[in-house]
Amino acid sequence: MDGLLDLKKWLKGCPPAILRIAQKKLNGERLTQQEHDYWWKYRHRRGTGPARPKHLLDPFAGAIKDMMGKGWEPHRMLEELRAQGYQGSLSTLYSYLQRLNGAVPCPQCGCLFTPSKAHTKYCSSECQRKRVRRAHQVYLARRYHEDPAYRSRRLERGRRQRARRRALAAPAT
């Protein structure tokens, strides 16, 4: 039973390519040379024990993004990360920051994301829809509900409609 739980824990940390290779090995299919090399490199790089994250700094990603949002310098980030238990070097942090360099905050929710062709200003289409809805509500409030000329026109229209109804309801003589 413990072996099965360890296997599940191991499989959760595996990249999808390793899962495909493992499936091929279970089915008895031959691996291509590229798959065989990938499998060998993965086993030797990973060693034994539970799977490690793809990058040494991934467990600290949230803290790093918060620090980037505050505009911290890498040396100050390194001090803060070491206080949180990070034991790596500054060069590792620099390479990680370069990978995150294209990340920008979403103006709607504040999450950091890397712009793509589909989403250039917002992290998702939902955030974009929320922003458009909010902008439309602000426009309506500014254009109609807060405009004194609109209010006076609306009141005048209401007076005319009430007068028309009274005239229709009054008996004709």
pLDDT means per 10 residues, the chain with 173 residues, are 56 76 84 88 64 58 75 81 79 66 69 67 79 84 80 89 90 65
Label residue 71 left, alpha or beta by phi (over 0 means left) and psi (-120 to 50 means alpha).
Answer: left
- CA 124, 127, 129, 133: dihedral to nearest 10 degrees? -170
Vertex 96: Cα angle to 82 and 112 (nearest 5): 100
Quote the CA–CA distance of 170 and 159 in Å, as a whole number.
16
Quote the CA–CA distance of 118 and 111 in Å, as a whole number.
17
Quote the CA–CA distance of 87 and 127 in Å, as a whole number.
36
pLDDT at position 76 is: 85
Quote the CA–CA distance of 132 and 135 in Å, as a whole number.
5
